Amino acid sequence: MDEFELVARYFDHPQAERNQVTLGIGDDGAVLAHMPGTESVIVTDTLVCGTHFHKEHSAASIGHRALAVNLSDIAAMGASAEWATLNLTLPSFDESWIEQFAASLLALARRYDVALVGGDTTRGPLSVTMTVGGRVNTGAALRRNGAQPGDSIYVSGLLGGAAAALERDDVHSEDALLDALWYPQPRLALGVALVGLAHSAIDISDGLLSDLGHVLHASANLGADIDAARIPLYPQAERDLGHRRALELALGGGDDYELCFTVPTARRGSVSVLEEELALPLTCIGEVTPSGACHVRHNGRILTELVPGYRHTWSG
Ligand SMILES: [Mg+2]
């Protein structure tokens, strides 16, 4: 048995039993059943050492993150996740690293009933690529381009935690900011519940203003009015970095993996019910406007403005 067969052994654990997986890991390919009345949603993401994470970051956090960032995209589409593939490039055979990486990735897969159906292992600079498949009822997928003027704009959870953890440059203590950075929680239950409720949705991987900008741009170049006072911040980020910096990171920091979605105003009551059911903060931060500009206001004053093209500048 060579070392890459040994790697495969760490992933050879009981997989989520899924009806649609006719043949899972172990053959030349996986076989997935067609499910009438549904459509497949496919997402993929690559994490490269030195770009998306660094050598000192734990194998467990990298394993979790590799799957979580893909599940976050599945959530943003309103789909439920079904299967995943993993392509792992390793510089050397470090058995304890591989064991921790695999255990963390598989724990997240089990939590969301995702079957690992295949993958590949090669030698080279450390990088992790995952592809995840999910499913929605035909025509039901959430999209970026459905926002309408007057929609209420919501975000899930708290924002800016991952960016605050990086800026604070303290990777040794354990707290909510580091959890946000290394163990982002994909909002799959929220995504599925938003089908038929939200006009549009996106996950916040590049920062709230950037990703909301994608929604507005795709939705016929609409604008937005955002109230800075309503942006949900991490108390720890405000304490460690100050309110202003915590707000800046919540607006532009990235790596939040929360969902941003727009809902017709008449359905806001349903969002409140959902917030209770999921025990997850769902905060209305503003509304979609017909203009092509996105304004963030603070005490009635315009704090920042995004114009079409979405290069944002700070004022005041
Ligand atoms: Mg995304």
pLDDT tens, position by position, 38-57: 999 999 999 998 888 777 78
* Closest residue by Cα to residue 223 from 302, 146, 313, 306: 306
CA of 207 from ligand 1 middle (Å) equals 11
Rounded alpha-carbon distances, angstroms, from residue 45 to 126, 131, 198, 280: 14, 7, 25, 26
Give the model's pLDDT for residue 174.
Answer: 63
CATH superfamily of 152-314: PurM-like C-terminal domain (3.90.650.10)
Query: What local confidence, expressed as pLDDT, does residue 93 receive?
Result: 85
C-alpha 107 – ligand 1 centre gap (Å): 22
Q: How many CB atoms lie within 10 A of CB 236?
A: 19
Determine the pLDDT at residue 9: 80
Q: What is the share, in percent, of the chain residues with pLDDT greater than 70?
A: 92
* 213 alpha carbon – ligand 1 mean position (Å): 13
pLDDT score, position 312: 47
| Distance, CA of 254 to CA of 214 (rounded, Å) | 14
pLDDT of residue 303: 78
Hey, where are the domains in the chain?
3-137, 152-314
Q: What are phi and psi of 110, to 5 degrees?
A: -65, -40
β-pairing, 115-123 vs 80-90, is parallel
Cα–Cα distance measured from residue 256 to residue 75, given in angstroms and rounded to the nearest whole number = 14
Give the C-alpha distances (Å, rounded to integers) separating 119 from 12, 25, 183, 186, 303: 12, 8, 22, 22, 47
CA 76 / ligand 1 centre spacing (Å): 7
Strand partners, 46: 129
CA 73 to ligand 1 center in whole angstroms? 5
Q: How much distance in Å is there from the Cα of 205 to the middle of ligand 1?
A: 6
CA of 315 from ligand 1 middle (Å) equals: 28
Predicted local distance difference test score (pLDDT) of residue 308: 47
Pseudo-torsion of CA 286, 288, 293, 295, nearest 10°?
Answer: -10
Count CB neighbours of 149 within 10 A: 14
- Output the CA angle 290-294-300, nearest 5 degrees: 100
Distance of CA 259 from the midpoint of ligand 1 (Å) = 9
**Longest alpha-carbon distance in the chain:** 67
Q: Which pair of structure tokens corresponds to residue 246?
A: 């915590």
Q: How far apart (Å, rounded) are the C-alpha atoms in residues 18 and 40? A: 15
Q: How far is the CA of 33 from the centre of ligand 1 (A)?
A: 26
Expressed in angstroms and rounded, the spacing between residue 299 Cα and the centre of ligand 1 is: 31
Condensed to tens digits (0 to 9), the pLDDT of residues 168-198 reads: 866 556 688 989 988 999 999 999 999 999 9
Tell me the CA–centroid distance for residue 134 and ligand 1, in Å.
14
**Domain spanning 3-137: CATH 3.40.50.10320:** no
Residue spans of the chain under pLDDT 70: 1, 3-4, 13-16, 169-174, 306-316
How many A from CA of 94 to the centre of ligand 1? 31
pLDDT of amino acid 311: 47
What is the token pair recorded at 36?
């009438």
Query: How many angstroms does the Cα of residue 121 sit away from the middle of ligand 1?
Result: 26
Query: Do residues 314 and 225 make contact, with C-beta atoms less than 8 angstroms apart?
Result: no
